[in-house]
């Protein structure tokens, strides 16, 4: 089945389990038609990205074992069109990611701005040009 007839999918990666849960709940409520996978492990995220074609990825920048920038580089090596949204509490960490980012958001961020950024990222994916509700 082509990606254009399936619902959009999002991968969320953050080593903070509370943040991960909060982000998932916000997006599940706001983007009911989007399939969401979440993990606190960048290695698990990479494995998931190898076997799934995500419409967008949200990743923390600073994580143990593999940075969000390294994860994004590996995902882009497989699927260069995947929009990546970086999140971090540290402004300098976000600056290092700007060249590979669809967007960079500094924690804590405005929930409405976060949801709108994810909507835009999902809509920008080549197989989902329509509006994401």
- Which range has the top average pLDDT, 10-14, 32-36, 98-102? 10-14
Question: Per residue in 66-95, pLDDT tens?
Answer: 999 999 999 999 999 999 999 998 887 788
Question: Per residue in 54-68, pLDDT tens?
Answer: 999 999 999 999 999
- Burial of 49 per CB tally in 10 Å (0-12, 13-18, 19+): buried
For residue 76, what pLDDT is reported?
95
Domains of the chain: 3-124 (3.40.50.2300)
Compute the mean pLDDT over every residue in the chain, rounded to the nearest whole number. Answer: 89
Name the pTM for this structure. Answer: 0.88
Residue of 13, 56, 14, 10 whose CA lies nearest to 33: 10
């Amino acid at each position: 089945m082509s990606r254009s007839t399936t619902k959009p999918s999002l991968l969320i990666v953050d080593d903070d389990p509370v943040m991960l849960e909060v982000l998932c709940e916000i997006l599940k409520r706001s983007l009911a038609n989007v399939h969401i996978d979440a993990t606190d492990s960048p290695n698990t995220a990479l494995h998931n990205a190898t076997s799934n074609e995500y419409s967008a990825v949200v990743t923390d920048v600073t994580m143990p074992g593999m940075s969000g920038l390294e994860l994004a580089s590996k995902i882009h090596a497989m699927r260069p069109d995947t929009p990546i949204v970086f999140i971090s509490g540290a402004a300098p960490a976000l600056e290092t990611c700007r060249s590979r980012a669809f967007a960079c958001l500094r924690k804590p961020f405005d929930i409405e701005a976060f949801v709108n950024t994810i909507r835009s990222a999902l809509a920008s994916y080549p197989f989902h040009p329509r509006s994401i509700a």
